[in-house]
Amino acid sequence: MDRQNKPSHRLCIAPMLNRTDRHYRYLARLLTKHSLLYTEMITTGALLHHDHRRRLKFDPCEHPVALQLGGSCPDEMAQCAEYATEYGYDEINLNVGCPSNRVQAGKFGACLMLEPRTVAHCVKAIRAATHIEVSVKTRLGVDNHDSYQNLHHFVETVASEGCMTFIIHARKAFLKGLSPKENRTVPPLCYEFVYRLKQDFQDLEIILNGGIHTRVAVLEHLGKVNGVMIGRKAYEDPYFIAEVDTMLFDSGTNSRHEVLKKYIRYMRQQQHEGVPLSTLTRHLPGLFHGVPGARAWRKCLLSNAGKNGAGIEAVYRAESLLAYHR
């Protein structure tokens, strides 16, 4: 089956559970024109046994956008790949990095680093079912299986079935003893393993994820790998990705207030379709991060947008607290 054109991975916005829903991705696209956006992880079971239409819909402006799947059954992956094709996703990404107990119980996420052949079979099934490119997001290793040799073997095995893009969170995962939140910060970063992968697999796209909080760090990593994936920083300080987009692609970007103006139009439309205001505004508190008045903006927004019957005026009220600081 012919592959479609691969999206660029030079700048990616990480899949984040309870964060990167379609509303956040709409906001992100107002900030960054060139990045590849990712959905939250969606399990194959959730798509196959529930309303996949509701879970897969997205605004066309989000392109390029990747669907991240959690699962370990090749047949289920193939079916979900067909759904992804139907809805027009630009990439399918396998989650081989999440260490939560719930994910482990379902036999997917980081525990699959111990089963590279299973991941390879999933890649093979997806590639047979669709023309969409497939990528794998993983860790450096799990528990005491954290040697470079183990990581090399995992990538080599999965790549043998046609996966050409690996997104590496540059920490190992502890399957027991740490919460998912702690697993994002406690295991030490080891960028050298990721750099070494790129040296050993010149034909693969190696994307680095983890601990990227400055534009200087972005440039340093891009000197050694094909792309960077930005996670919590992109959510807590969304305008950072606008600055990175401009730096990497020499593109203009909207001001924070212009972004808010356009997102308000989107919120009005979504409210007409029945989406609660609080669902839409929960991605906004960090938009003015570092700007004078940002604390007052956040406090006012969080205090008022969730009230029963709250309308867009709650957002304007919060924005007015920034007016003196423009």
SS3 sequence, 2-57? CCCCCCCCCEEECCCCCCCCHHHHHHHHHHCCCCEEECCCEEHHHHHHCCHHHHHC
Separation CA 96–CA 113 (nearest Å): 7
Q: How confident is the model over 140-154, as a mean pLDDT?
A: 97
Q: How many Å from the N-terminal Cα to the C-terminal Cα in the chain?
A: 53
* pLDDT more than 70, % of the chain: 96
Q: What is the pLDDT of residue 4?
A: 58
Q: Are the CB atoms for 162 and 119 separated by under 8 Å?
A: no
- CA Rg, the chain, in Å? 20
- Which has the higher per-residue pLDDT, 273 or 177? 273
Interval 26-35: pLDDT, tens = 999 999 999 9
Q: What is the pLDDT of residue 37?
A: 98
Q: What is the pLDDT of residue 308?
A: 87
Average pLDDT along the chain: 94
Q: How confident is the model over 27-47, as a mean pLDDT?
A: 96
Active-site residue numbers?
98
Separation CA 104–CA 115 (nearest Å): 13
Confidence tier at 294 by pLDDT (50, 70, 90): very high
Interval 104-116: pLDDT, tens = 666 789 999 999 9
Separation CA 227–CA 220 (nearest Å): 11
Q: Are the CB atoms for 301 and 318 separated by under 8 Å?
A: yes
Q: What is the pLDDT of residue 104?
A: 67
- Which has the higher per-residue pLDDT, 247 or 180? 247
Interval 89-103: pLDDT, tens = 999 999 999 888 777
Q: What is the pLDDT of residue 192?
A: 98
Q: How confident is the model over 226-250, as a mean pLDDT?
A: 97
Confidence tier at 199 by pLDDT (50, 70, 90): very high
Q: How confident is the model over 268-282, as a mean pLDDT?
A: 95
Separation CA 314–CA 303 (nearest Å): 9
Domain ranges (residues) in the chain: 11-249, 256-325
Which distant-in-sequence residues (6+ apart) come within 8 Å of 10 by Cβ?
34, 222, 226, 227, 228, 248
Asked whether the predicted pLDDT for residue 1 surpasses 70, the reply is no
Q: What is the pLDDT of residue 323?
A: 63
Asked whether the predicted pLDDT for residue 135 surpasses 70, the reply is yes
- What residues does 205 pair with on adjacent strands? 165
Confidence tier at 244 by pLDDT (50, 70, 90): very high
Interval 309-326: pLDDT, tens = 889 999 999 999 996 555
Tokens representing 324 are 């003196």
CATH architecture of the domain 256-325 equals Up-down Bundle (1.20)
Separation CA 215–CA 212 (nearest Å): 8
CATH code assigned to 11-249: 3.20.20.70
Amino acid identity of residue 309, one-letter, is: G
- Which has the higher per-residue pLDDT, 117 or 109? 117
**Three-state secondary structure readout of 98-151:** CCCHHHHHCCCHHHHHHCHHHHHHHHHHHHHHCCCEEEEEECCCECCECCHHHH
Asked whether the predicted pLDDT for residue 2 surpasses 60, the reply is no
